[in-house]
Structure 1
Amino acid sequence: KSDLVVYELLLRDFLSRHDFQTLRDTLDYLQRLGVNAIELMPVSEFEGNISWGYNPSFHMALDKYYGTPQAFKMLVDECHARGMAVILDVVYNHAFGQSPLVQLYWDAAQNRPADDNPWFNPVPRHPFNVGYDFNHESAATKRYVGRTLRYWLEEYHVDGFRFDLSKGFTQKFNTDVGAWSAYDASRIAILEAYADTIWQTNPEAYVILEHFADWNEEKVLSDYGMMVWGNMNHQYLEASMGYASDLRATSYQFHGMDQPHVVAYMESHDEERMMYKNLNWGNGSGSYQVKQLPTALQRVELAATFFYTVPGPKMLWQFGELGYDYSINHCPNGTVSDDCRLAPKPIRWDYRNHPLRWRLYQVTRALIELKKAQPALETADFDMDVTGYQKRIWLHHPDMEVVVLGNFAVT
């Protein structure tokens, strides 16, 4: 787990044909980059067409938009042949109205799940809910989730799951985000039971949580063997743009964890793109301007150096290795609006032909290979001085001493 490098992708915005077969044909690119896991955003049947997939209706059915079950099996097999794991992004906080579990017990008068629905709460139990909220204390829900997880492991041989909005797996009603995020023993028990179900089928499977709860709770989950997302988007974007930033939270040790179970990331499907921020809001001094493309790309190289050399698992978002510079809120008409967050984004494979962008790819590739090849980059004995503009990392290992130095100032 410590040398895990995950490539998160949305098939729709990664490949023009957006299917499993074409992704299988594209694995050379990802293998050369050096990633050892692919995390697919939800591929189970979802409502509508323009979606990231977080509005599920059938948890055991592949969405036909992405291809056939046989094509998916072939993709998984080919990934395994190349030493790459396949991790599925799964959504069990909620389901949407086309789900038969919603429709079977429905209160038409109040337009919500009925009080006797064995799977869903009539009223959501937390403030971030969308769709209809699963009751994870219900025996029926536990059976359903367990059965569907086993199905993906046994039928398709996937290597694990990333649980969307796992903090929502609680029956403690709360509209206050801070209180909802507080330590919750009942939520821990639910997640541990799901992890046990997964590990009974595949003891080596990855269980990754988008949790963002109290770190004491996340440490308990980590000690149990699960991994948690570590959102470092804001910190690395600020550093890349040339502003003050503290990168210490990249380290699992900063959070009091004993195991390297924080999957840190600079970008994800849910966060703004570093190059977009650099080109639009980058700092500068005199002739040195982060808003200029060559400098903006160099800043991403610098940020990546202080990302991949921190021990612990890492994740990158698709095309980040080429300096993808369209906003997460980019609209098809070229404007930027919050309303376009889920809209299709330009697919820019032509960025490979840009020398400076291809250099970023090569730098990212070299850092990933260094991370995987050198035990010193997975040491538990390291120090970080990364709160100022001049940042340093020291890695201590019997094989070698490593010092990483970088100047994030613009003067």
Structure 2
Amino acid sequence: MRHNVLSALLLAGLFGCGEAALEKQQGSGQETAQVVQQLTSSTRPGMGATVYSGGTTFRTWAPLASRVFVAGDFSSWGWVELGNEFNGNFSADVAGAVKGQKYKFVTRNQWGSDAWRADPRSAWQENSTGASIIYDHGEYWWNAQQFSTPAFNDMVIYEMHVGTFHDSPGFGPGNWNSAIAKLDYLRDLGVNMVKVMPAYEFAGDFSWGYNAAFPFAPESAYGSPNDMKHFVDEAHYRGIGVIFDVVHNHYGPSDLPMWCFSGDCLGNGGEYFFTDSRKVTPWGDTRPDYGRPEVRAYIRDSMMNLLDNFRADGLRWDATKYMRTIDGSGDIPSAWQVFRSINREINANKPWKISIAEDFGGGDSITNDATSDFAGGAGFDAQWTAEFVHPLRTAAIEQNDANRNMFAVRDAITQRFSGRSHARVIYTESHDEVANGHARVPEEIWPGNAGSWAAKKRSTLVAGITFTSPGIPMMFQGQEFLEDGYFADGDPLDWGKLTPYGGIKTLYRDLIRLRRNWNNNTRGLRGGNVNVHHVNNTNKVLAYHRWDSGGGGDDVVIVANFSGTSYSSYNIGFPRAGTWYLRFNSDWNGYSSDFGNTPSANTSTNSGAKDGMAQNANFAIGPYSLLIFSQ
């Protein structure tokens, strides 16, 4: 873990109240307290540290404490006593406390013992075990004022881990500024949303981020709050929205500022956490107590902090199944209050911002409307779906053509939640799917030979299905240049793979442009309608029709060959008469020199019913290839 040496010296030397001295005072009671000032409670709004002209209002929730103090640079680390509001909060206006100064709270429990605490609502941490830092959200000047969040049916998401996205092995992880350096690349690739894995202060410098300890404070190893805002600003400047991953199914479990915050642990972690069987999660006994209004407010405020202060375009809620259940079973009704109240507020005030659940089991109830805090569904706009990723990965990884199940692929393409085509996020690679015993799709196809013909062909085939199916398509960082192995928080992306696999990157770019209807001739790929009209499970060929309103430039037909056999003249039904133009052929050798360049071409329909359609047409299609036709 990094330590700020200068800060430690200042605290220990100049103020005579460094971390060692603070630890000596912990639990020693009032007799050793350096109380330099006693203040009355504040009438100003705000929780945590809120800057005003000439000072800072400090307010913290400590319902089991008898007294609460704040100490920091502004008091030479002497204790300033906060006023008791007699509602669980303690607050005061501290003149001379200004942005950039460090501080901590001291809570005295009912037995007279004192404990030093970082601010659970800290907006800026020197590190996960260090002091909180006063921060003014109004100080950042935003540049990208005209950005508009893409419509849900136009979103193409790129999942990013800041620490590994653009970094070199050794030293610290990547950061906001190193990620900014690759935003031009993402813009040119065509993605218009990045989904950032959790980037809030966690223990240590290297992590996936799902052990967040401070849900209001950006991870210090990645940069300051202004650096995080600068990343969002630069993304918006390039037409890219930002979705932040949030974790409220558990906290930590280490370095938690809110753990036993008032000095009474209540048998587990104190007032912020469940203290009965509901405390247990797969990641520790740190599930927040959703039944407490103050904890629900804590979660809500952290979400709105991202949407408002950091101008996020959406939220992806991690493992909501482990918010609403104990271990996959055993309902926690108060979690539904969290879902419904926050999603209803977002829909009422910021309906263009997307709220996504990772649930895997709640079905339509997750994306059904929340009619009230106590009724209806959870109110999410979309959810990640196992019903897509697992059949597609299985179809790609299977070594024997005869075992590929085209009916399972069909069902993956047509599956939807709550009757809405874009209520699901679809992908073949995500942080979970390329770790935890799994690897990247090309690596799974041929372990140790992810650059092989078979790995390239079959991984790009299922990528083609992803970008042409109803839903919001997502890719994981490096997928577009055949990153191999598995994801690890200390293993940066190998950008050198862009040299040998630049053609694969171009393939992804072309798919993204077609998905987003860049040339105004594939509008149906953004539409909500799909008909898988041709399923040949013997020869492993599948075709489907996508459309929005229908007609020229709208109707799209996709053909996918999941076999190693090339067909010189394959016949399927088409929805409209006339010439159908080939917009994409994944077998083009411009994507990879070892691709077959099967002479697929434009085709004209013949009269005669086929596959439930009035027209039919012939075309060539290569092995493990995907074709896209439109008029």
Residue 70 of structure 1 deviates from its aligned partner by: 1.7
- Paired residues of 2:421 and 2:470 also in contact (CA < 8 A): no
The DSSP-based 3-state class of the residue aligned with 2:462 is: helix
Residue number in structure 1 paired with 2:458: 299
8 Å CA contact 1:136, 1:190 repeated in 2: yes
**Equivalent pair of 1:91/1:164 in contact (CA under 8 Å):** yes
Amino acid at match of 2:209: G
Counterpart selection for 2:513 from 369, 372, 378: 369
User: d(CA) in 1 for partners of 2:264 and 2:333?
Assistant: 31
CA distance in 1, matches of 2:306, 2:396: 39
Equivalent residue runs for 1:303-314 within 5 Å: 303-314=462-473
Residue 244 of structure 1 aligns to which amino acid in structure 2? R
Q: Distance in 2 between matches of 1:190 and 1:108?
A: 24
In structure 1, the residue matched to 2:429 is 267
Describe the shift of the 1:251–1:238 C-alpha distance in structure 2 as closer, same or farther (beyond 3 A).
closer
C-alpha change, 1:249 and 1:390, in structure 2 (3 Å) is same
Q: Secondary structure at the match of 1:194?
A: helix
Amino acid of the structure 2 residue aligned with 1:217: S
Aligned-pair CA distance for 1:126: 7.7
Residue in structure 2 matching 1:235, options 391, 407, 425? 391
Conserved 8 A contact 1:392-1:405: yes
Which structure's relative contact order is higher, taking Cα pairs within 8 Å and 6+ residues apart? 1
Q: Select the residue among 179, 201, 210 that pairs with 1:54.
A: 210
Q: Could you say which structure has the larger radius of gyration?
A: 2
1:4 corresponds, among 141, 150, 155, to 155
Unaligned runs of 5+ in 1: 282-289, 329-341
For residue 247 of structure 2, the aligned residue among 83, 91, 109 is 91
* 8 Å CA contact retained: 1:38, 1:86: yes
Q: Write the mapping of 1:10-409 to structure 2, written as runs, cut at 5 A.
A: 10-16=161-167, 18-96=174-252, 97-105=254-262, 112-114=268-270, 117=271, 119-125=272-278, 128-131=281-284, 132-170=286-324, 174-175=326-327, 177=328, 179-180=329-330, 187-199=335-347, 202-221=350-369, 224=379, 226-231=381-386, 232-242=388-398, 243-245=403-405, 246-251=408-413, 253-255=415-417, 257-272=419-434, 273-280=440-447, 293-328=452-487, 342-354=488-500, 357-373=501-517, 374-384=522-532, 388=537, 389-396=540-547, 397-399=550-552, 400-409=554-563
In percent, how many aligned pairs have the same letter?
26
**DSSP 3-state at the match of 1:208:** strand
Which one-letter code corresponds to 2:493 in the other structure? Answer: I
What is the root-mean-square deviation of aligned Cα atoms in Å?
2.7
**Equivalent residues of 2:279, 2:288 under 8 A apart:** no
Aligned-partner residue type, residue 273 of structure 2: F
Report if aligned partners of 1:308, 1:368 keep a CA contact under 8 Å in 2: yes
Give the CA deviation at 1:199.
4.2
Alpha-carbon spacing, 1:188–1:109, altered in 2? closer, same or farther (3 Å):
closer
Assess, with a 3 A threshold, how the Cα gap between structure 1 residues 249 and 154 changes in structure 2: closer, same or farther. same
Provide TM-score, normalisation by structure 2: 0.56
Query: What is the Cα deviation at residue 206 of structure 1?
Result: 1.2
User: What displacement does 1:194 show?
Assistant: 1.4
In 1: Cα distance, 2:194 partner to 2:333 partner: 31
Q: Which is worse superposed, 35-44 or 161-170?
A: 161-170
* C-alpha contact 1:20 1:75 (8 A) present in aligned 2: yes
> Contact (CA 8 Å) 2:367, 2:380: kept in 1 or not?
no
Distance 1:100 1:256, change over 3 A: closer
Change (3 A) 1:189 1:248: farther
The more displaced of 126-135 and 63-72 is 126-135
Gaps of 5+ in 2: 1-151, 168-172, 371-376, 435-439, 566-631
Q: Tell me the SS of whatever aligns to 1:212.
A: coil
For 1:370, the aligned partner's letter is: L
Question: Which stretch shows the higher mean deviation, 376-385 or 206-215?
Answer: 376-385
Shift of 1:258: 2.8
The answer (yes or no) to whether the contact 1:150–1:197 under 8 Å persists in 2 is no
Aligned length: 378
Provide the C-alpha distance between the structure 2 equivalents of 1:73 and 1:375, rounded to a whole number of angstroms. Answer: 34
Cα distance in 1, alignment partners of residues 211 and 264 from structure 2: 20
Q: Deviations over 1:112-132 (max 9, x none)?
A: 224xx2x21024528754230
Give the aligned residue type for 1:190.
Answer: V
CA distance in 2 between counterparts of 1:38 and 1:401 reads 28
Closer/same/farther in 2, CA of residues 248 and 101 from structure 1, 3 Å limit: farther
